[in-house]
Every structure is written in structure tokens, then in C-alpha cells.
Amino acid sequence: MADGWRQIWSDFRDSLRGKPSKPDSDRTVEPPESADSRATIAPGPPIATASPKPPATDPAAANSSPDDSEQLARQLTESAQSETEWTADSDQAQPAPTRQPTLGQYVASIFAITTIPAALVFFSSDYFADMTLPSPPAPNVVATFEGGQITLEDIEAHLNMLSSSTSNPGPMSQEALLETVEDLVSDQLILRWAANRKPEADESFQHAIKHINENLNLESFADQLHTERISISESSIREYYDKNKARYEGRSFTEVRDEIRRTLVAEQEPAFVEDYLEKLRTSASITRSFDLLDVPAPSQKELETYYRQNIDRFKLPRRAIVDELEFSASQFSPKAQQEAASALLGIQGGATFQATAGRFSKARFSSRAEVPEGSRNPDWDKYVFALVPGELASVFQAGGSYYVVRLQEVMPAGAKSFAEVRPTIMTTVRTQKEQRWFADNGEKTLFTIKGQRYSLRDFYKEYEEASLREQFEGAEGLKRLANALIDRMLLVSDTYDRLLDVANKPLADETRLRLLRQMMEQEEVDDRIEVSDEQIQAFYSDNRDRLVSPPKSRIRYVRIGLGSSEADASRARERSDEAYRKLTGAVPGSDFASVAQEYSEDVETASKGGEFPDWIGESGDPLGELMSHPFHEAIQDMEPGKVGKPFELGGSIYIVEVTERTLPQQLTLDEAKPFIEEYLTNQQHRSMAEELQRRQLQEAKVQLYPQVLEEYLMRAASRDQPTSQ
């Protein structure tokens, strides 16, 4: 809602200057291009504003002002993030998404603002005196809506709740106050929706609210551990500092005191919590019937029966193992068939498929690809499965591409053996037996705490919702989970005894509103989004040249840690320079494998000559922290076969040689489909969310009184002015 309200404020300021407001039809502006999309921004919904002049209705009369552009230019659309590099043009304007900021974003934005923008200074008093602004119902009323109003006191209470402080955050800008009004109005719109929807009747909503309140209380308990419960003496902090001066070189005790205290608290926390829990367990009356968690394991007969009854699930079609070059008509235009024929001639003359692929960078190359019958275009199957192993097909067309294919072998149709699929069947049958067991015994009591009963059905619901199957598998795993739930309930009960729920009520109410917002958007927007196969196909056809996977590289490398001090870093740089000289021939007789074994601190790769077996690319994570984008950026321009210069990243020095690099590959429709579907879904979400917001604001009859905010700011500014002596 922020952008719509900012436009209203822009209209109000324009009217003060004597300018007509921009009509809705003119309120779109091209944002800067992003890597993922180009889109126009639709305006926010119209809201009634206390303004001396009505908005202009004639588009010809609307004048663009710098303020309008400045406000709208800050709006950016969200686009789908994917593992591929592609962009998409959009000729149709996309409405800006409506998102409520997180609590952290609110607090950060509020406290970052300490001055009043010069653009909000009042104009001459004579000019302003001629204006006749509609008066608010009361001097402290900032906005009204059907059935209620928002006051300055509401704003201050909201800010205090978000900042978890009753202190005055200091001078506040009109922009920040306006955003707070937006937030409060948004809350009212959600409550109006909830009054009709009555979500409290939903068991899932009640369950979510219960967990939210419990988590807030447990977070407060954890905060108390760090600030009150765990005592760290000043002498302990000083002793830790003295023992670890090398780690804090160049920093005084005062500078690192709080950091050390947090470290010592973290060290003591596990033992403190365990002791605290043991006291709660001892004082509580707990009964357990954990024999209910002994779900009978699947028998061999049950597994074999499932295999026979579901044999169709394990059938395999014929599969062709092929070397293949695909020449897409969209990439090669009319020359696709000609280029494919040229490639075929080269291969017939003795060239390999891989070498031929290097001549045609836009061709899609696959080596020993396993292609199940029926997974490709029917014409592809017709030509390829007619070949004999080792035969090279003539150029043929299938769909929108021309192909050069050599059949390596054909794997006959059949079914996977029971031994091959037994682990999969075991997991499936065990899950089915668990579900039947917990359904049949659901009303039985698993445990009680202080007389409060917890059924087997309650337990299984937590088990399923939290996706804990892998972590707590089998009867023993279920018992460990049950004990963990008992501990959680003991802590939650203790937080209620300490009235932490009362202290957290304002934040709990705010979190409830955010849950309602998610529920509203899910039902009113997301559940109504439909992306058809025809839309995906059309998008793919229009943007096929951009739908490519990035190149990948194979590397071998030497890693030398920079250490924890400048002296360590200096020694590391000397070692890296020495290793680099050996690798670049300055020291005869040194190869990469021997240098990696001598210098690299990655034991696993050093023992293999520095070689990492997987491909490095933006779509994977084979090197953990090394596979961050900066690492990929550092190696992508290195020439294969040459040792790159040492570079520093993440506390280490790397010397990398790219041994092999693939070419960018165009994505097939099946490969691109998930990303296209996500992108089109986001487009529809933005449009439908904007329309929902527009309708709600009109129904609520929201009216803003900006002059109340302006007067409030002026009073605050005058209070903050230094008193002249």
C-alpha cells in the first residue's frame, strides 16, 4: 500500500503548489531494467484525500512534476529468481506488489530517519491562508475510514511497539509517519476482511496462532537468558580477553567487552537450559505411554505385495543412449538445417561430436544422453529408434529443431527389480502403516503434563507439519521427539507462569495481523492464479533466446588461509606468491598436483592434486562457501588451461586453474517451464493483489488528513530546536 499512499501525499503537495494532480492513467513510469524483467509500474489505488482542489480528470491537463517521478521511480517490481540467466520483456504494465514491511524493516527505517526533508517545508503563510482544508473530526485524527479513525496516539503506540521501547525515537519525517498510517490502515482493511471470513473458526488458523504465541514467549525466555538469567562476572570477561588478546589485536577491552560477554553466555547456555529443564521436569507431574509409538515395521511379504500391486510404477520404457547436436530454428533462423548438415559432414569426416559442438556455439550438445521413449517429440523417436547402435542419422527435424544424432545403444523396456526399488518401497509402506496406526490409535493419550492430556493424534500432527520424518525416524526417533515436545511444553507453561504472554500481547496481535494478511492473499489472490500451458509456451517462444543455462567449469585449485592476524595474512600471501611462481614455470619441474599437495590447506582436494570433481556453476553448490557468486565471478573469465592469478575471498587465498568449461546451453521448454511458471505467477499475483487493494480502499472510504501530520512534525521540530542562551 505504500506506493499508493505516497502518490496521495504527492497529490496533496502538488495541490498546495497550485498544480493539478496527475490522473491515474498517467501514473506509470518505466523503472530501470533489471536482470530478470522489464515492467511498468501501475499506480496505487485512489484514496480520498483532504485536498483544497479535486484531482484533475483531464489527462491533457495533468503535468508531470519532479516529485511525482521521484516517488514513483523508487517502485521496483519483484521478479522470479532462478538458477538460469534470462530476462523477459513485458509490453504490459505490471502493478507493483503490495507488501507489508517486516518488523525489522519498520524499526530500521524509522530510526534511520532523523531530519525533516526540505521538500515538505510549508509555503508562504499568505498563500496557505487562502486554502480551506477540510477539518479532521478532532485535532489528533490523522485518517478516517468507515467505522473508525487513526489518531496521533495510535501512531506513537504503534511505533513504540515495533521498536520495543517507550523512549522517543527522535525527530520523525513526514514520510515515516505516513508509512505508519499506511500500516495502521492496512491493518484495518485486514480486520474488515477477517470479520467476514471469520478465520478463527479454522483449526489450522488456531493451531498457527497457538504456535506463534508460544514462539514469542520462548524467544522472550531466550532473551532473558542472555540479559538476566545467566550471570557473567566482569573478572571472567577480563580473563577471557587476556587469554585471547591475539584474536582481538588492535581492539581495546572496552570495544570487545559486550562481544566477549555474548560468547561466554553462549558457552554456558546449553548447560543452563538443561539444568533449568531438569528442575521443571522434577516439579511437574508427567506420565508417558510411549509404547504407542512402537509402530509395527513392514514385513517382507508386505513389501513384495506392494511391488506386485504397483509394478506399473517401476516399469521402464526403451531408452536410447545418444550423442546429439540440436540446432534450434529460433537460434539459427533459416540456416538451422544448413548448419546441421555442415555439422553432419564434419562428423562423417571423422570429427567428434564435442569438437563439432565447439564450431557451433549455439547448438545444444549432449554426450551419451539417456532418452526414454516418449519423452521427446514423436518425430525424434521415429528417426532415432529406427537406427542401429553405432549408426549416424541423417539430419532430421523434430518440432522446432534440426538434429544430428548417433545412436550408441538401446536399452530395452522392462521393470526395475524388487531389489532396486526395495528402499523406496520400504519408505512408502512404512509411511502408510504409520498413518493407519496413528489414525486407529489417535484418541489414545501419549503423555500428560500437569494433568493436561496430549493425544497420539496431536503428536502425529506436529510430526507431519514440522516435516520431522528424516530427523526422528523409527520408534526411537519418535520417542526422542515426544520428549522434546514435553520439554517445549514445560518451557511454554513456565513462560505463562512468568506472564511473558502478557508482555508479548502487542507483538502477538501484530503477528496475528500478518498471519491474517497471508491468509487473505492466499485466498483472494494466490488460489485464483492460473498459468496455462499455452501461456508458458507463448512466453518460451517469445523469449527463447534468453532462456539459457550459464557455462560451467571444472577446476583445480590451491587454497591458503589468511589466518587471524595481519602477520598470518602476510605469511599466507608470501606462500601463495611462491606457489604461483612454481605453477607458472618460474620454478622448473613443478606441476599443479605437486604444488597443491605442498601448499593447499584443503586436505581432501590437495590429496587429489587440487582437482575438484564436480562442475562449478551458478546453478550448483559443490564447494559450499566457495560456490558463492563472488567465487564464480572470479573464475568465469579465466582462460582454460592457464593458471589464474591469486585472489582473496572469504578469509583465504585461491590459485585456480580452469581445466574445462562448457558453453552456455539453451534451455528446453521442459527445463525452462518451472522458471517461466514462477515468473508468470508473480505477474498475476502483482496484478490481482493491486486490484484487491484498490477494491478494499474504496469500500473502506479511507480519508487522510495530512495537515495533522504536518502540524505534529512542526511541533516536534520546534521542541528539538536548541534553546538559545
654 domain residue, yes or no: yes
| In a shared domain, residues 689 and 647 | no
Is residue 241 one of the residues assigned to a domain? no
* 184 plus 44 within the same structural domain: yes
Is residue 229 included in any domain, yes or no? no
Domain boundary (397, 412, 427) is at 412
- Whether residues 365 and 408 share a domain: the answer is yes
- d(CA 103, CA 109) in angstroms, rounded, equals 10
Torsion angle, alpha carbons of 493, 498, 504, 508, to 10: 20
624 and 701 in a common domain: no
> Considering the domain boundaries, does residue 68 fall inside one?
yes
Instruction: Give the model's pLDDT for residue 51.
Output: 35
Pair (19, 167) in one structural domain: yes
In a domain, 145, yes or no: yes
Question: By the 8 A CB rule, do 79 and 31 touch?
Answer: no
Q: For residue 122, what pLDDT is reported?
A: 33
* Residue corresponding to grid cell 506513537: 156
Domain range enclosing 327:
318-412
In percent, how much of the chain has pLDDT > 70? Answer: 69
Last-in-domain residue among 373, 392, 412:
412
Quick one: 645 and 712 in the same domain?
A: no
Q: How many CB atoms lie within 10 A of CB 635?
A: 19
Based on the domain organization, do 55 and 168 belong to the same domain? yes
Query: Contact, 511 vs 212, CB < 8 A?
Result: yes
Cell numbers given for 439: 489414525
The DSSP element (H or E) to which 557 belongs, if any, is strand 553-561
Same domain assignment for residues 135 and 21: yes
- Predicted pLDDT of residue 223: 66
CA dihedral 475, 481, 482, 488 (to 10 degrees): 180
Let me know: does 199 contact 519? Beta carbons within 8 Å: yes
Q: Which 3 state secondary structure label does DSSP give 136? A: coil
pTM above 0.75, yes or no: no
Number of domains the chain contains? 3
Whichever domain contains 344, its CATH number is 3.10.50.40
Residues 51-97: tens digit of each pLDDT: 333 333 333 333 333 343 333 233 323 333 333 334 334 444 333 33
**Domain shared by 408 and 336, yes or no:** yes
Cell of 32: 530501470
Of 412, 430, 459, the last residue of a domain is 412
Domain membership of residue 501 (yes or no) is no
Do 576 and 714 belong to one domain? no
Let me know if residue 33 belongs to a domain: yes
CA torsion through residues 128, 129, 131, 133, sign: positive
pLDDT of residue 599: 93
pLDDT digits (tens, 9 = 90+) for 282-335: 888 888 999 999 999 999 999 999 999 999 999 999 999 999 999 987 666 678
Question: Chunked in runs of 10, what are the mean pLDDT values of the chain (725 residues)?
Answer: 40 39 39 33 35 35 37 33 39 39 37 34 35 78 86 82 53 69 78 74 63 64 66 88 84 88 85 81 86 92 95 93 88 81 94 91 87 91 96 92 95 93 93 92 90 86 73 82 82 67 62 75 86 91 81 89 86 92 81 91 88 72 46 82 89 90 78 89 89 82 83 78 57
* pLDDT tens-place string over residues 658-700: 888 877 777 888 888 888 999 999 999 989 888 887 888 788 8
Any domain includes 47? yes
Does one domain contain both 190 and 332? no
Same-domain status, 621 and 712: no
